Amino acid sequence: MSKTREDLTITEALRDPLIAMVLRADGVKLDDFKRLLETAAKKGEQRASPVGKFMNMISSNPAAMCSYC
């Protein structure tokens, strides 16, 4: 069974003809959309995962684990 990828890269999204049609219909410039995607990607990279937050919390304060039980 082959593995498929569901998410588009920013480059793929910017080249997608359907996305381009929607942007034109909505009056959104491609450069503005690109900046939006890049900003969202950077913010997503900066977020800690919920599991990471949990592990950091219990490693510094084992008693805190009980609040998650």
Pair 38, 44: CB distance under 8 Å: no
Instruction: Examine residue 2 and state whether it is found in any structural domain, yes or no.
Output: no
Domain that holds residue 32: 10-68
33 is a domain residue: yes
Residue 22 placed within a domain: yes
Q: Tens digits of per-residue pLDDT, 12-67?
A: 999 999 999 999 999 999 999 999 999 988 887 666 567 767 676 667 766 655 55
The total number of structural domains in the chain stands at 1
Q: Give a yes or no: residue 3 inside a domain.
A: no
Q: What is the pLDDT of residue 34?
A: 95
Q: Does any domain span residue 27?
A: yes
pLDDT at 49: 67
Note the pLDDT of residue 7. Answer: 84
**4 inside domain:** no
Question: If 0-12 CB within 10 Å is exposed, 13-18 middle and 19+ buried, where does residue 3 land?
Answer: exposed
